[in-house]
Amino acid sequence: MQPLGEMLRGAVGLHQQGKLVEAEQLYAKVLEADAKQFDALHLLGLLKHQRGDSAEGLPLIEAALQANPKSLEALLNYGGVLSTISRHADALAAYDRALAIKPDRADVHYNRGNALMALGRNADALASYNKALALQPNDPLTLYNRANALAELNRPGEAVAAYDKVLALIPKHPDALINRGKALRSLLRPEEALACFDKALMLKRDDVLAHINRGLALVALDRAEEALAAYDRALALKPDDTDALTNRGIALLRLGRHQEALACFEGLLGAAAPDDASTLNNRGTALLGLNRLEEALTCFDKTLALKPDDADALNNHGTVLVRLNRHEEALPYYIRALELKPDDTNILNHYGNALVLLNRADEALTYFDRALSLNSRNPETLHNRGNALLVAGQYQKALTSFDRAIALKPDHASCRCDAGMARLAGKDFAQGWAEYEWRWKTPDFLAAVRDFAPRWNGKYVNGTLLVSSEQGLGDEIIYSSMAPDLVGQAESVTLEVEPRLAKLFARSFPDLNVIGRGHLLPDNIRAQSPLASLGQYFRPSLQTFPKRERGYLIADADSAANLRRRLSPNGEAVVGLSWASKNPAMGRFKTALLSDFASVLRLPGCRYVDLQYGNTLAEREALTQATGLVVERLPDINNTSDLDALAALITACDVIVTVSNTTAHLAGALGKPTVVFVPSGQARLWYWFHAGDESPWYPYVRVKRQGKNQSWADLVASAAEEISALVRTAQIKQPA
């Protein structure tokens, strides 16, 4: 029989040559002769591990260590096998035993660091790698894993420097390049990160992780289309990669392709992760983009049921509530999100915006300022801060903030539009109108863009010029003041308006072809313009507003005369009242109570008529019961649907007293003496301007501005004497 020593040496030789089957046979023969032979047990266990049978190899190495507990190499291999089968705590114990025998082995410190990383003990792992490098300073594996530990510890700056040491030794290390790029992304250095991913892909063109991270860098550079291509490349290589699918959906969200994004996230939820909180959150974001608000809210509710402390889902839940005009309900969600992520500029911005919508602009500014302290070059924050400053009445500072945002992002359509309205409110019409044209590139207006004919450039049109109304009824009425200026600008001009205004406008602008929206458009349209866009041509300065002696809208004279006889059979003064706005976004800030008008409801010799749209019976009856004061409603006139009849009713009145709503615009356009109470804060629209009590749009309107925290009743009472004087003057002017 061959001596054991010779057999063992033969087995080791075959093992070293990679002849594992033959080596295993010889190791087995040695162990048949001596079941406790240390080297045979150790090396056969190692061979089985190398062959992929770690579970079979482990007991052999354990038996070897029973024979020789202080074998450094056996302990090192034992730790390696334990790590392979994810028994990292046991592996750590093996490495600690090895270091107790020989504390200056760099490879043991290195492997100990790897076990600690697997256990999530990254700081301890870093200490082990540092010890390994103190013994072997230029080991590239240790340098690389040390850099990974720094990245896991969220120390990206140090991680970049550590990856640089690896790349100095191995310039073509694709994984080091990828991870260096990830660290640079964390440092908000996406250009440099992109360069790293591009270099990595030159070395490993089919690396899925590199393609995904390249896409993330491109998104950070606002190059979402290119990012989409990067994710598509990753998915071509690995079609079921959830990271690539998720980030592809997020890129689609950035591109405003919400329907495609929704399909992407629903595919993920249906395939492998029906209850994945992150994917549910992304699905909700897509639904939010599609304005499917109730569905989005349900989605975020599901997300938060699974993950109550998901700051992004809390933020998104708040955002849906804001979109649903449930601003107060949104605040707790933002507050909790900020407790979890106090330095998240996105949440800070959303919370600030919600506060602005609640007229709490001073509070909002503290959050925008905090966001700017974290990133002073964020155009969204500067834009939002500008809006808060506007609401707070700091107009010049608001413009400065808008200008800073636009300098950083010249194509920021929403900011340019808001800056335009701010300039218009300050009567800087030339620049204001130009900036206001950016509204057509904002999400709220994109769907209304018409491209069947060129936009009018202010020059004579050989053919038909179509001018279309836009936005709300009040906007249509105020901008229609420029309709007379259209005469002579084209062979024919068609004015397309909200159908309820068509009859009134047709009477008022007989030289124009007035049609209701939805009617068949005329042939031969050679140019078209939105109604408000006429301002840049016809109202470029305050001096270009016409000084009218009467209104530009004309009610039906017979109807108005008949109504006057009904309302003032004995020469009573007639005061028309309107006290509410139905604007879904800001109506509550523009709305008073009828009882707030009590100070003007006691003027002697006056009769009061209800011009308010909607059902006001309960409020009028409550007023009468509480005070004895009467406000009449004419049952045969529908103040909501029959605006031509409402115009006649307004004309029949002596004075109109109203909040900022459609009635205010109709009264002003009809040339009636009118007092308009405009709200403080974000519901004060630009065309009431920043200051003054006169309106260039409506010469017979007097503007009364609500002070901060001033009640409607107090504001109305402050104007009672002026209203009384207007009534007396109007009475004198009434024909006998």
Supply 194's token pair: 């992109």
φ/ψ of residue 204, rounded to 5: -135, 85
C-alpha atoms less than 13 angstroms from C-alpha of 688 in its C-beta half-sphere:
25
Residue 569 lies in a domain: yes
Of all residues in the chain, the percent with pLDDT exceeding 70 is 98
Q: Are 228 and 253 in contact (CB under 8 A)?
A: no
Predicted pLDDT at 585: 76
Predicted pLDDT at 708: 87
pLDDT digits (tens, 9 = 90+) for 141-192: 999 999 999 999 999 999 999 999 999 999 999 999 999 999 999 999 999 9
Count how many domains the chain has: 2
* Strand pairing report for 490-497 and 513-516: parallel
Q: Rounded CA gap, 500 and 512, in Å?
A: 17
pLDDT digits (tens, 9 = 90+) for 192-210: 999 999 999 999 999 999 9
pTM, whole model, 2 decimals? Answer: 0.80
Q: Domain check: are 529 and 569 in the same one?
A: no
Which uninterrupted H or E stretch holds 167? helix 156-169
Q: Are 503 and 555 in contact (CB under 8 A)?
A: no
Q: Domain check: are 507 and 592 in the same one?
A: no
Amino acid identity at 585:
A
Q: Are 540 and 614 in contact (CB under 8 A)?
A: no
Q: Domain check: are 471 and 594 in the same one?
A: no
**Closest-CA residue to 686 (of 364, 399, 372, 281):** 399
Residue 711, domain CATH: 3.40.50.2000
- Where does the pLDDT of residue 115 fall: very low under 50, low under 70, confident under 90, or very high at 90 and above? very high
Name residue 609's beta-bridge partners.
Answer: 576, 632
Q: Domain check: are 476 and 586 in the same one?
A: no
Does 384 score more than 90 pLDDT? yes
Residue 51 lies in a domain: no
pLDDT digits (tens, 9 = 90+) for 660-686: 999 999 999 999 999 999 998 888 889
Q: What is the mean pLDDT of the chain?
A: 93
Does 736 score more than 50 pLDDT? no
**Closest-CA residue to 323 (of 361, 285, 360):** 285
Does 387 score more than 70 pLDDT? yes
pLDDT digits (tens, 9 = 90+) for 39-94: 999 999 999 999 889 999 999 998 999 989 999 999 999 999 999 999 999 999 99
Q: Domain check: are 640 and 593 in the same one?
A: yes
Residue 239 lies in a domain: no
Q: Domain check: are 563 and 712 in the same one?
A: yes
Which uninterrupted H or E stretch holds 611? none
476, 481, 535, 698 from 505: Cα distances, Å = 10, 11, 19, 17
Predicted pLDDT at 610: 96
Does 733 score more than 70 pLDDT? no
Q: Domain check: are 534 and 561 in the same one?
A: no
Does 447 score more than 80 pLDDT? no
- Where does the pLDDT of residue 290 fall: very low under 50, low under 70, confident under 90, or very high at 90 and above? very high
Predicted pLDDT at 735: 55
- Say which residues have a Cβ less than 8 Å from residue 156's Cβ, sequence separation at least 6: 150, 183, 184, 186, 187
pLDDT digits (tens, 9 = 90+) for 505-555: 999 999 999 999 989 899 889 999 999 999 999 999 999 999 888 999 999
Q: Are 170 and 140 in contact (CB under 8 A)?
A: yes
Does 272 score more than 60 pLDDT? no
- Where does the pLDDT of residue 276 fall: very low under 50, low under 70, confident under 90, or very high at 90 and above? confident
- Say which residues have a Cβ less than 8 Å from residue 463's Cβ, sequence separation at least 6: 490, 491, 492, 524, 525, 526, 527
Q: Rounded CA gap, 619 and 579, in Å?
A: 11
Of 521, 544, 567, the last residue of a domain is 544
pLDDT digits (tens, 9 = 90+) for 304-332: 999 999 999 999 999 999 999 999 999 99
**Closest-CA residue to 371 (of 402, 350, 398, 397):** 350
Predicted pLDDT at 588: 84
Predicted pLDDT at 258: 95
Q: Domain check: are 601 and 657 in the same one?
A: yes
Domain containing 590 equals 557-733
φ/ψ of residue 76, rounded to 5: -65, -45
Residue 94 lies in a domain: no
Question: Dihedral sign, CA of 384, 387, 393, 397?
Answer: positive
pLDDT digits (tens, 9 = 90+) for 484-498: 999 999 999 999 999
Residue 647 lies in a domain: yes
pLDDT digits (tens, 9 = 90+) for 552-596: 999 999 999 999 999 998 888 999 999 998 887 787 888 999 999
pLDDT digits (tens, 9 = 90+) for 135-148: 999 999 999 999 99
Amino acid identity at 518:
G
Q: Return the biggest CA–CA distance within the chain.
A: 142
Sheet holding 701-705, edge to edge: 606-610, 573-578, 655-659, 674-678, 701-705
- Where does the pLDDT of residue 445 fall: very low under 50, low under 70, confident under 90, or very high at 90 and above? confident
Residue 221 lies in a domain: no
Does 265 score more than 60 pLDDT? yes
156, 235, 273 from 194: Cα distances, Å = 16, 19, 30
Q: Rounded CA gap, 512 and 488, in Å?
A: 10
Residue 590 lies in a domain: yes
Q: Domain check: are 668 and 700 in the same one?
A: yes
Of 485, 516, 544, the last residue of a domain is 544
Q: Domain check: are 710 and 621 in the same one?
A: yes
Residue 527, domain CATH: 3.40.50
- Where does the pLDDT of residue 480 fall: very low under 50, low under 70, confident under 90, or very high at 90 and above? very high
Predicted pLDDT at 547: 87
Q: Domain check: are 643 and 573 in the same one?
A: yes
Does 373 score more than 90 pLDDT? yes
Q: Rounded CA gap, 139 and 170, in Å?
A: 11
Residue 391 lies in a domain: no
Supply 438's token pair: 């950016």
Q: What angle do CA 239, 244, 245 make, to 5 degrees?
A: 75
Q: Domain check: are 594 and 719 in the same one?
A: yes
pLDDT digits (tens, 9 = 90+) for 606-633: 999 999 988 999 999 999 999 999 999 9
